[in-house]
Amino acid sequence: MAAALTLSGPLSANAAAVRLPPIDRDPLRCERAFTGNTIGQANAVADKLLDLRECKLSGSDLSSKTLSGALLLNADLSNANLREVVLSKAYAVNTNFSGADMTNAVLDRVSFDGANLTNVKFVNAVITGSTFKGADLSGSIFEDALIGNEDAKRL
């Protein structure tokens, strides 16, 4: 519940403004990405914090997973299959998504500040309430993506 309150909206890349808990010491915490939020809700409600900070998930198949409320700070999701993934109220500051496929993804209230989003496929993605301050979006494809007027301004 505390994570849901902390991640209730887009967050700043300013680390001093964001207070995150210590990284989970569970040696299998990165493996939780493959099951996602098991409660299955898109509002970051979970029985346990989905802590994927600094996880090396390059090239992983996370298609159709619900990663709502995930802490992805400094994670590597380059070339990952994120088709139909649900990222709601997630903190993906400084995360490497280069070459990832986010076709049909739902990206709601995600902080992508400082993220590497080069050559990402956002084809037919729904992008709402997310921030992209300092993110590198060069070469990314937004074909048929649903992006609100205010969200387009942030891009």
pTM greater than the 0.85 cutoff: no
- Exposed, middle or buried by CB within 10 Å (0-12, 13-18, 19+), for 69? buried
Nearest to 72 by CA among 3, 142, 152, 151: 3
| 11 pLDDT more than 50 | no
- Read off the tokens for 112: 């992508």
- Read off the tokens for 22: 């210590």
Predicted pLDDT of residue 149? 82
List pLDDT tens digits, range 20-34.
Answer: 999 988 999 999 999
The secondary element (H helix, E strand) that includes residue 107 is strand 106-108
List pLDDT tens digits, range 43-91.
Answer: 545 567 899 999 999 999 999 999 999 999 999 999 999 999 999 999 9
List pLDDT tens digits, range 100-151.
Answer: 999 999 999 999 999 999 999 999 999 999 999 999 999 999 999 999 888 8
Predicted pLDDT of residue 16? 45
For the chain, how big is the Rg over CA atoms in Å?
14
Gap between the Cα atoms of 58 and 76, Å rounded: 6
